[in-house]
Amino acid sequence: MQSLSRHAPHALALLRIITALLFLQHGTMKLFGFPSMGDMGAGGLPPLMIVAGILEVAGGLLLLVGLFTRPVAFVLSGMMAVAYFMAHAPGGFFPALNGGEPAILFCFAFLYLVFAGPGSFSLDNRARA
Write out pLDDT tens, residues 57-97: 999 999 999 999 999 999 999 999 999 999 999 999 999 99
Domain hosting residue 7, numbered range? 2-128
Please count the CA atoms within 13 angstroms of the CA of 84 that sit on its side-chain side: 19
DSSP for residue 89: G
State the Cα–Cα distance between residues 88 and 122, nearest whole angstrom.
33
Number of domains in the chain: 1
Q: Sign of torsion, CA 53 55 58 63?
A: negative
Helical ranges in 33-99 per DSSP H: 47-65, 69-83, 95-98
- Please give the pLDDT value at position 108: 98
Query: Which of 32-41, 55-64, 101-110 comes out lowest in average pLDDT?
Result: 32-41
pTM of this structure: 0.91
Q: Is residue 128 predicted with pLDDT exceeding 90?
A: no
State the Cα–Cα distance between residues 70 and 16, nearest whole angstrom.
11
